[in-house]
C-alpha cells in the first residue's frame, strides 16, 4: 500500500512544470484544447509526427503511418496530458475523459468490425505505454484485452481455433494479473507448470484446448485468492484498470532510474495506446518481428532484425526465445517480406533517419505496429549520418543533427590490443549486439555490479537474460553478456543505447545466477573471475586483456594515417560540417604543450584556459615551488621564482607553438599555496619518526620543523575561499611579475621566429574591479619592460575570469579594466550555490533522489541560478565594452546542454578539455542550428 501511495504523490511536485508545458503545446497548436484522445484508423489519424509531446513516440508514429496509408491496425492514443491529470487527481480520471475514451472505442469497434466483449465477434485490444522518448521495456503493456468467459468462446468460433482462443485468454489473465493486480508472476507460473506436469507436457505448445481451459480456471482461483476479487469480466473495467496501470508504471523505480540516466524529465508523462490486436500466433502462417532499416551496431546499410513464427510481439523483445534473422522471412513468407521492405524503405525516406520498426503477420497479412528513429551506437550514428548524406537522403545540416554529441565519446573508447587478444583462445561466441572492448570481473546481479564498481572494481554483468530492472547494473558495467536473447532483446537495445559493449545470446554458456557462476564447456567461471569480450565480433575470452586506443585516437596521435581509417574520415566529415554551422569558437583547456597538440588535432582553435600552476607539478619543479612558498622574505622568493622562470617560459613557448597562432589564454597562479606543500599530518609523523630514530638527523629534523611551521602558518579553514586566485598575485606581486615575464618572453621569441602570437593574460577569481586594476598595472609594467629588453613590441590582452558572483554583478565596472572575460563556471557554481565543489558528492545523490536538483550543477549549468549570473555578467560587461570577448572555461564548456545555453547568451567561444573537443564542436553546431542568440 505504502508503495502505491508514494508512487501516486511523486509527480505531483511537477504539476507546475506541466502547466508551463501545456501552454507551450497550446502555443504550437499541436493539440486541440479539451481533446485528450486521438483516433487512428481507416487511413486517417487525428495526430501526426509532430505531436510526440502529446501522443508519445509510438502514438505519433502510428498516426503518421496511418495517414501514409500503411497497414496499421486501428486504435486510439490517450494523450500524455491524461497521465498528468491522473497523477494530479490522485489516480483518478475525470468522467469527461472516460466518455471521450468510450466514444473512441465505439469508433474503433466500427473500424475493426468487431465489438469489445462480443460473444460472436469480439474485438481484442492491446494497451501499451508510449512516452515522447522511447524507454525500452521500462513500462507496462497488456495484450489480448477484452477476453472474458463469453468472448473467449466468440474468439474460438471466429478463428475456429479453441487452442488459440484459450491460450490468448490465459496470456491475458497472466499479464493483467501481474501488471494490473500486482500478483507475483510466480503464482501463475506455478499453476501453469502444474497443468503441464499433470498432462505430461514438455513445451507450452504441447497443451491442448482442454488443458488451457484448466489453466484458465486455475488462474481465476489465483486471482480470487490473491486480490480478494474475481477476475474482472467487464471489458470496460479491464480497459480502465489497464490504462491506469500503464500510467502507474511511469513512476515505477526502473522507469525512474532510466529517466535519471537519460535525463528525461518526470513531468512529461506517458501516453497510452489502445489498438486492435492482430495475432502473430495463429499458426505457422503468422509471426511477429522487429527490425531496423540499417544495422544499429555498425551502421552498415543492411536490412536488419529478427522474427519469430507463431509468436506474440513480447516474445521477441523479452529475449526468451532466440529468434530467426529477418532475411529468412523472405523464404518463409516472400510476399509479406517484400511488402515489409518496401514499407520500411519508404519510412526511412520519410523520416530521414534509420527506423526501428515492429510488425506482425497474421495469416500472411502484414501489419505495422510501430516505427521510430532507431537507437544506435555512436559508431553507427556517425556511419549512418555520413551514409545518409552520401545517398542524398539528408543534407549535411541534417546529418549534423543526427548524431548525439555525447555518443562521439564511444568512438574514442579503447579497443583490445589485437596481438594480446589473438594470443587467447575464444571460449565462446554470442551475437555482437554493441561494439567495443570490455574486460572486467564477472558479476551476476545488477546490485553487485553497482556495489563492486563503488569499490573501484571493473565488472562485466553476466546474466541469462537482462530485464529492465537491471538497468542500474548495466549502466556501471564495462560490458554486458547474456546467454539468451537476440539482437533486439532488452540487453542488446539498452547496451547499444548506452554505448556499452554487449554480447547477447551466447547460447553455450550456462548461467547459474544463484550459485554465482557460469559454465562454458568444461570450464566454470566464478564471480570475480576476469573475462573479456569484443562486442563487434561477439567473441568471449576467459582472461583479462589489455586494451589499446581507438582508431580515431591512433590517427590523432599520428600512429595511423587518416586516409587508412574509414571511421576517422567519417568522424572528420561530421565535425567538418559542424564547423560550418557553428557560431561559437572552440578552445581547449590545456596546460602543457602535448595536451595542446592533441586539442589542436581534435579541432580546437585556441586555448581557453592554461592553468599555469599545473606546470609546477612537472618533474623536479616542486622543490623549487616549495622554496618559493617557504621563503619568508621577498629576496628569497625572487630567487626561487628566477629558477621557475625559464621552465615556465619553455612551457608557454610549447603551448603557443602547438596552437599555431590561435589565441592562447594563460591564467596566473590560482590555487591556495598549501596545495604545493606536504600535508601537515604527514609532516608530524615524519618528525616524530626522526625524533625517535637513532643517529644524527638534526639537520633534517630542523628542516622538517621549519616546513611544518610554514604549513601551519599557511593553514586555512576554507582554502577555496581563502588566499588564492588574484589574492595571491596581490599579496605576492613578484609571482605575477615572473609569470608575465615568462609569457611575454615566449611570445616575443615566437613573434621573432615569424609566428604571430597574441597572448591573453587572465587574472583569476576577481570579485572587485580594483583587484584587476592592481594586477593589470603589474602585468603592463613587466610586459613593457620585457618587450623593451627583447627589442620587439607585441600585442597582448589582459582579462579576467568571472567566477565570483560579485565579479559578474559588477561586470560593467570590471569590463573597464578587462579586455576579455572567461566564465569560470566551476567556481561560479560553487560560489552561487554555496556548495563546496570538493564536497558536493556527499549530498548530491540524495538531492537528486529527492528531486531537489535534477542534474549535477557542476556538470550541467544551472540555467535558472548560475545561468542568470552568467547572463547578467555578459550583459553588463558588454554594456561597457560592446566588443568584449566572452568565453567559458569551466567544465560546462564541454557539456552539450550547457553549450546550448552558452549559445543563447551569445558567448564567443567555449573551452573544453582536449578529449571533449569533438563533443563541443558538434554540440555547438547543433546549438547554433537550434537556437537564436538572445532567446
Q: Closer CB to ligand PEP, residue 711 or residue 870?
A: 870
Show contacts with ligand PEP in window 600-639 (CB under 6 A): 609, 611
Selecting among 490, 674, 892, 900, the annotated active-site residue is 490
Distance CA 703, CA 678 (A): 13
CB of 894 to ligand PEP, least distance (A): 11
122 binds, among ligand PEP, Mg ion, none (CB under 5 to 8 A by kind): none
Complete DSSP assignment for 407-460: GHHHHHS-EE-HHHHHHSPP-EE-EEEE-SEEEEEEESSHHHHHHHHHTT--EE
CB of 608 to ligand PEP, least distance (A): 9
Contact stretch for ligand PEP (CB under 6 A) within 148-156, 221-229, 645-653, 819-827: 819-827
CB of 912 to Mg ion, least distance (A): 15
895 binds, among ligand PEP, Mg ion, none (CB under 5 to 8 A by kind): none
Residue 643: CB atoms within 10 A of its CB come to: 15
Distance CA 376, CA 298 (A): 8
Q: Three-state SS for 203?
A: coil
CB of 827 to Mg ion, least distance (A): 4
CB of 735 to ligand PEP, least distance (A): 16
Site size toward ligand PEP, by CB under 6 A: 10
Closest alpha carbon to 57 in 442, 416, 371: 371
Q: Closer CB to ligand PEP, residue 500 or residue 611?
A: 611
Q: Closer CB to Mg ion, residue 81 or residue 827?
A: 827
The answer to whether the CB of 309 falls within 8 A of the CB of 283 is no
CB of 827 to ligand PEP, least distance (A): 3
Complete DSSP assignment for 311-338: --THHHHTTSS--EEGGGHHHH-HHHHH
> Which grid coordinates belong to 886?
566572452
Q: Closer CB to ligand PEP, residue 504 or residue 766?
A: 766
Q: How far is CA 784 from CA 111, 212, 736, 754, 776, in A?
A: 86, 95, 14, 20, 12
Q: Three-state SS for 838?
A: coil
Q: How far is CA 848 from CA 838, 856, 897, in A?
A: 17, 8, 18
Give the phi and the psi of residue 499 in degrees, each rounded to 5.
Answer: 75, 25
Residues in the chain: 935
CB of 683 to ligand PEP, least distance (A): 26
Q: Closer CB to ligand PEP, residue 8 or residue 727?
A: 727
Distance CA 664, CA 646 (A): 19
The beta-strand segments (E) located in 498-548 are 502-504, 509-512, 517-520, 523-526, 530-534, 539-541, 547-548
Residue 223: CB atoms within 10 A of its CB come to: 21
Among 825, 832, 898, 926, binds ligand PEP (CB under 6 A): 825
Selecting among 748, 889, 892, 900, the annotated active-site residue is 889
Across the strands, what pairs with 520?
A: 509, 523
Q: Could you tell me the sign of the dihedral formed by the alpha carbons of 350, 351, 356, 361, in that order?
A: negative
The rounded radius of gyration (Å) of the Cα atoms in the chain is 33
Question: What DSSP element (H or E) covers 841?
Answer: helix 841-849
CA 537 to chain CA mean position, Å: 24
377 binds, among Mg ion, ligand PEP, none (CB under 5 to 8 A by kind): none
Closest alpha carbon to 613 in 716, 707, 725: 725
Q: Closer CB to ligand PEP, residue 404 or residue 670?
A: 670
Q: Closer CB to ligand PEP, residue 826 or residue 848?
A: 826
CB of 837 to ligand PEP, least distance (A): 8
803 part of the interface to ligand PEP, by CB under 6 A: yes
The answer to whether the CB of 125 falls within 8 A of the CB of 293 is no
Among 373, 826, 848, 875, binds ligand PEP (CB under 6 A): 826
Show contacts with Mg ion in window 849-878 (CB under 5 A): none
Show contacts with ligand PEP in window 193-222 (CB under 6 A): none
Distance CA 296, CA 290 (A): 13
CB of 840 to Mg ion, least distance (A): 15
Q: Closer CB to ligand PEP, residue 771 or residue 803?
A: 803
CB of 858 to ligand PEP, least distance (A): 9
CB of 687 to Mg ion, least distance (A): 34
Q: Closer CB to ligand PEP, residue 562 or residue 720?
A: 720
Distance CA 912, CA 892 (A): 8
669 part of the interface to ligand PEP, by CB under 6 A: no
Show contacts with Mg ion in window 744-803 (CB under 5 A): 803
825 binds, among Mg ion, ligand PEP, none (CB under 5 to 8 A by kind): ligand PEP
672 binds, among ligand PEP, Mg ion, none (CB under 5 to 8 A by kind): none
Complete DSSP assignment for 688-713: HHHHHSSS--HHHHHHHHHHHHHHHH
Q: Closer CB to ligand PEP, residue 46 or residue 827?
A: 827
Contact stretch for ligand PEP (CB under 6 A) within 40-48, 223-231, 737-745, 825-833: 825-833
The answer to whether the CB of 744 falls within 8 A of the CB of 787 is yes
Show contacts with ligand PEP in window 869-908 (CB under 6 A): 889-890
Q: Closer CB to ligand PEP, residue 662 or residue 911?
A: 911
Residue 777: CB atoms within 10 A of its CB come to: 14
Binding mask 805-834 for Mg ion (x = CB under 5 A): -------------------x--x-------
Site size toward Mg ion, by CB under 5 A: 3
Q: How far is CA 447 from CA 27, 443, 444, 474, in A?
A: 45, 9, 9, 10
609 binds, among ligand PEP, Mg ion, none (CB under 5 to 8 A by kind): ligand PEP
Contact stretch for ligand PEP (CB under 6 A) within 374-382, 448-456, 742-750, 822-830: 822-830
How many Cα atoms are found within 13 Å in the side-chain-facing hemisphere of 690? 16
Among 356, 387, 827, 903, binds ligand PEP (CB under 6 A): 827
Contact stretch for ligand PEP (CB under 6 A) within 33-41, 291-299, 527-535, 824-832: 824-832
Torsion of CA 272, 278, 282, 288, to 10 degrees: -70
> Which grid coordinates belong to 362?
497474421
Q: What is the DSSP letter of 358?
A: E
889 is catalytic: yes
Give the phi and the psi of residue 314 in degrees, each rounded to 5.
Answer: -65, -25
889 binds, among Mg ion, ligand PEP, none (CB under 5 to 8 A by kind): ligand PEP
Q: Which residue has the cell 572587485?
A: 768
Among 670, 774, 895, 903, binds ligand PEP (CB under 6 A): 670
824 part of the interface to ligand PEP, by CB under 6 A: yes
Positions touching ligand PEP (CB under 6 A) are: 609, 611, 670, 803, 824-827, 889-890
Give the active site residues: 490, 889
Positions touching Mg ion (CB under 5 A) are: 803, 824, 827
Amino acid at each position: 500500500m505504502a508503495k502505491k501511495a508514494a508512487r501516486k504523490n511523486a509527480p505531483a511536485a511537477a504539476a507546475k512544470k506541466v502547466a508551463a508545458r501545456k501552454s507551450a503545446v497550446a502555443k504550437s497548436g499541436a493539440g486541440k484544447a479539451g481533446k485528450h484522445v486521438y483516433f487512428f484508423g481507416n487511413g486517417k489519424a487525428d495526430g501526426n509526427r509532430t505531436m510526440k509531446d502529446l501522443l508519445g513516440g509510438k502514438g505519433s508514429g502510428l498516426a503518421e503511418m496511418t495517414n501514409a496509408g500503411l497497414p496499421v491496425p486501428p486504435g486510439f492514443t490517450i494523450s500524455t496530458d491524461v497521465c498528468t491529470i491522473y497523477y494530479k487527481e490522485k489516480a483518478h480520471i475525470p468522467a469527461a475523459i472516460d466518455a471521450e475514451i468510450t466514444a473512441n472505442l465505439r469508433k474503433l469497434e466500427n473500424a475493426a468490425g468487431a465489438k469489445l466483449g462480443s460473444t460472436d465477434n469480439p474485438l481484442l485490444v492491446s494497451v501499451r505505454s508510449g512516452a515522447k522518448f522511447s524507454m525500452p521495456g521500462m513500462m507496462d503493456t497488456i495484450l489480448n484485452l477484452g477476453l472474458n468467459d463469453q468472448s473467449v468462446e466468440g474468439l474460438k468460433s471466429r478463428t475456429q481455433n479453441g487452442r488459440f482462443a484459450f491460450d490468448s485468454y490465459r496470456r491475458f489473465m497472466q499479464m493483467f494479473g501481474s501488471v494490473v493486480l500486482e500478483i507475483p508472476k510466480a503464482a501463475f507460473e506455478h499453476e501453469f507448470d502444474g497443468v503441464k506436469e499433470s498432462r505430461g507436457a514438455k513445451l507450452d505448445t504441447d497443451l491442448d484446448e482442454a488443458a488451457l481451459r484448466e489453466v484458465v480456471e486455475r488462474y481465476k482461483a489465483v486471482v480470487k485468492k490473491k486480490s480478494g476479487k474475481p477476475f474482472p469480466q467487464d471489458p470496460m473495467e479491464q480497459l480502465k484498470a489497464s490504462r491506469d496501470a500503464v500510467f502507474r508504471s511511469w513512476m515505477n523505480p526502473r522507469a525512474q532510474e532510466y529517466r535519471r540516466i537519460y535525463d528525461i524529465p518526470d513531468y512529461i508523462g506517458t501516453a497510452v495506446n489502445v489498438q486492435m490486436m492482430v495475432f502473430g500466433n495463429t499458426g505457422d502462417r503468422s509471426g511477429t518481428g522487429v527490425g531496423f532499416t540499417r544495422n544499429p551496431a555498425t551502421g552498415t546499410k543492411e536490412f536488419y532484425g529478427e522474427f519469430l513464427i507463431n509468436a506474440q510481439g513480447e516474445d521477441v523483445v523479452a529475449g526468451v526465445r532466440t529468434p530467426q534473422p529477418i532475411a529468412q522471412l523472405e523464404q518463409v513468407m516472400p510476399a509479406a517480406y517484400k511488402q515489409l521492405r518496401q514499407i520500411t524503405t519508404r519510412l526511412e525516406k520519410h523520416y530521414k533517419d534509420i527506423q526501428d520498426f515492429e510488425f506482425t503477420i497474421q495469416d500472411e497479412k502484414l501489419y505495422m505496429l510501430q516505427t521510430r528513429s532507431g537507437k544506435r551506437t555512436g559508431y553507427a550514428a556517425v556511419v549512418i549520418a555520413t551514409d545518409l548524406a552520401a545517398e542524398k537522403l539528408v543534407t549535411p545540416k541534417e546529418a549534423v543533427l543526427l548524431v548525439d554529441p555525447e555518443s562521439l565519446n564511444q568512438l574514442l573508447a579503447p579497443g583490445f590490443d589485437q596481438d594480446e587478444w589473438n594470443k587467447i583462445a575464444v571460449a565462446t561466441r554470442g551475437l555482437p549486439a554493441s561494439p567495443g572492448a570490455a574486460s572486467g570481473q564477472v558479476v551476476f546481479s545488477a546490485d553487485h555490479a553497482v556495489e563492486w564498481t563503488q569499490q573501484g572494481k571493473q565488472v562485466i554483468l553476466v546474466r541469462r537474460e537482462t530485464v529492465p530492472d537491471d538497468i542500474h547494473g548495466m549502466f556501471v558495467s564495462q560490458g554486458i553478456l547474456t546467454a539468451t536473447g537476440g539482437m533486439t532483446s532488452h540487453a542488446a537495445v539498452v547496451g547499444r543505447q548506452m554505448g556499452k559493449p554487449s554480447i547477447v545470446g551466447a547460447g553455450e554458456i550456462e548461467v547459474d545466477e544463484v550459485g554465482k557462476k557460469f559454465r562454458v564447456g568444461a570450464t566454470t567461471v566464478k564471480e570475480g573471475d576476469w573475462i573479456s569480450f569484443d562486442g563487434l565480433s561477439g567473441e568471449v575470452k576467459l582472461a583479462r586483456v589489455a586494451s589499446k586506443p581507438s582508431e580515431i585516437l591512433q590517427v590523432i596521435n599520428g600512429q595511423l594515417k587518416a586516409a587508412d581509417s574509414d571511421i576517422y574520415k567519417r568522424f572528420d566529415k561530421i565535425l567538418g560540417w559542424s564547423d560550418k554551422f557553428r557560431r561559437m569558437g572552440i578552445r581547449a583547456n590545456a596546460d602543457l604543450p602535448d595536451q595542446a597538440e592533441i586539442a589542436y588535432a581534435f579541432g580546437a582553435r585556441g586555448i581557453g584556459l592554461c592553468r599555469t600552476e599545473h606546470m609546477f607539478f612537472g618533474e623536479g619543479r616542486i622543490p623549487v615551488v616549495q622554496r618559493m612558498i617557504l621563503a619568508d622574505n621577498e629576496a628569497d622568493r625572487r630567487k626561487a621564482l628566477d629558477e621557475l622562470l625559464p621552465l615556465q617560459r619553455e612551457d608557454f613557448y610549447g603551448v603557443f607553438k602547438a596552437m599555431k597562432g590561435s589565441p592562447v589564454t594563460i591564467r596566473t597562479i590560482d590555487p591556495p599555496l598549501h596545495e604545493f606543500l606536504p600535508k601537515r599530518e604527514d609532516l608530524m609523523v615524519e618528525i616524530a619518526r626522526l625524533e625517535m630514530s637513532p643517529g644524527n638527523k638534526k639537520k633534517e629534523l630542523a628542516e622538517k620543523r621549519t616546513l611544518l611551521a610554514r604549513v601551519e602558518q599557511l593553514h586555512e579553514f576554507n582554502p577555496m575561499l581563502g588566499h588564492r586566485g588574484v589574492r595571491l598575485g596581490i599579496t605576492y606581486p613578484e609571482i605575477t611579475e615572473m609569470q608575465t615575464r615568462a609569457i611575454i618572453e615566449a611570445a616575443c621569441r615566437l613573434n621573432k621566429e615569424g609566428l604571430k602570437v597574441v597572448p591573453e593574460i587572465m587574472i583569476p577569481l576577481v570579485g572587485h574591479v580594483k583587484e584587476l586594476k592592481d594586477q593589470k598595472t603589474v602585468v603592463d609594467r613587466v610586459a613593457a619592460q620585457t618587450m623593451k629588453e627583447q627589442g620587439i613590441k607585441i600585442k597582448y590582452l589582459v582579462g579576467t575570469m568571472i567566477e565570483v558572483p560579485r565579479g559578474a554583478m559588477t561586470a560593467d565596472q570590471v569590463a573597464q579594466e578587462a579586455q576579455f572575460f572567461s566564465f569560470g563556471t566551476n567556481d561560479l557554481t560553487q560560489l552561487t550555490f554555496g556548495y563546496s565543489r570538493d564536497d558536493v558528492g556527499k549530498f548530491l545523490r540524495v538531492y537528486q533522489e529527492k528531486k531537489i536538483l535534477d542534474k549535477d550543477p557542476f556538470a550541467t549549468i544551472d540555467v535558472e541560478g548560475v545561468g542568470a549570473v552568467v547572463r547578467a555578467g555578459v550583459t553588463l560587461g558588454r554594456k561597457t565594452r560592446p566588443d568584449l570577448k566572452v568565453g567559458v572555461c569551466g567544465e560546462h564548456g564541454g557539456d552539450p546542454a550547457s553549450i546550448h545555453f552558452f549559445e543563447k547568451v551569445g558567448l564567443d567561444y567555449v573551452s573544453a578539455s582536449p578529449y571533449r573537443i569533438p563533443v563541443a564542436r558538434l554540440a555547438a553546431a547543433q546549438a547554433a542550428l537550434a537556437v537564436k542568440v538572445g532567446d
